[in-house]
Amino acid sequence: MPDTGAVAENAPLNPLSPYGRSKLMTEWMLRDTAAAHDMTYAALRYFNVAGADPMGQIGQSTANATHLIKVACQTALGMRSHIDVFGEDYPTADGTCIRDYIHVADLAAAHTAALRYLRAGGESLVANCGYSHGYSVLEVLDSVRRVHGRDFAVGTGPRRPGDPASVVANSALARSELGWVPRHDDLDGIVAAALRWEEILARKNSSRD
C-alpha cells in the first residue's frame, strides 16, 4: 500500500499477496546469488502489462484471465455478459482504483534494453517498468467504450482484499540507466491493440472447434 505518489525502487517492500511475495523472493535469490558468484542481473518490475503485439501475431491467451483491460475488451466484444468494478469508494477522483498500464511492446523493449545494459558491463539493478502515471478503472472502461464504439454492461462489487487505491511506477531509473524510451504510452492505443487481439484469438479458437 504505497503512501507516496509514484512508487520508486527503494520503496519499502511489503507484498500483500502470495504472487507479490514470490517476486520478492526471486529478487532475494538473485541478489544472494550475485553476491556469492560472478553474476550480474537486471530485475524488471512490471506495472500492469496490457495490449498486444502491434502486428497482431501474439497476445495474452490465458483462459479465464482477470486483467482489467482484457476482461473489459472481452465484455465489449460480447464474450462476457458483464464486467464488475470492485470498489467505488477509494480515495481517488472517481472512487475506483488507479493503475499504471504498460504496453507489452514497451515492456519487450525494456527487456532488450536491460540485456544491452548488462552486456555493456552494467552493474546489477532493479528497475520499474511503467509510464509514471495511471488511469482509474472507470477511465479504462471509458477508453474501451470509446475505442470499440459501443457500450457494455458494468456491475459493481465490494473491494477486493489487498487492492491499493493507487499504484503507479516511478520509471526514471529504467529511462536513465537502461536508456529505455517508451513508444506506446497511450491508453486508447493499448486498448485498440487488446481489442484486435481478442478478435484474432476468437477467430483462432473458432477455427479449432
| Helix segments in the chain, DSSP class H | 18-36, 68-76, 104-119, 137-148, 172-177, 187-208
> Cell numbers of 203, please?
477467430
| Helix 137-148 and helix 187-208, axial crossing angle in degrees, nearest 10 | 70
Q: How far apart are CA 75 and CA 151, in angstroms?
A: 10
Active site residue 46: no
> Cell numbers of 97, please?
482504483
Q: How far apart are CA 148 and CA 169, in angstroms?
A: 28
Catalytic residue among 19, 46, 101, 117: 19
> Cell numbers of 121, please?
558491463
Q: Where in the sequence numbering do the catalytic residues fall?
A: 19
